[in-house]
Amino acid sequence: MAIYYETPLDRTFHALGDSTRRHMLSALHEKGQLTAGELGKPFNISQPTASKHLAVLEKAGLVSRTIKGRKHSFALNATPLEEADSWINRHTAFWTGSLDRLETLVEKTIKETKDD
pLDDT of amino acid 97: 72
pLDDT of amino acid 44: 86
Cβ contact 32:71 at 8 Å:
no
pLDDT of amino acid 2: 62
Written out in words, the top-level CATH class of the domain with range 8-77 is mainly alpha
- The separation between CA 95 and the C-alpha centre of its own chain, rounded to angstroms, equals 20
If phi > 0 it is left, if psi is from -120 to 50 it is alpha, else beta; for residue 88 that is: alpha
Cβ contact 72:61 at 8 Å:
no
65 - beta bridge partners?
A: 74
pLDDT of amino acid 92: 81
Cβ contact 81:12 at 8 Å:
yes
User: Which phi and psi angles does 91 have, rounded to 5°?
Assistant: -75, -35
Q: What average pLDDT values come out for the chain (116 residues) when binned by 10 residues?
A: 79 95 96 92 89 96 94 94 89 75 81 76
The C-alpha atoms of residue 30 and residue 9 are separated, in whole angstroms, by 24
User: Helices 8-16 and 47-59 meet at what angle, rounded to 10?
Assistant: 150
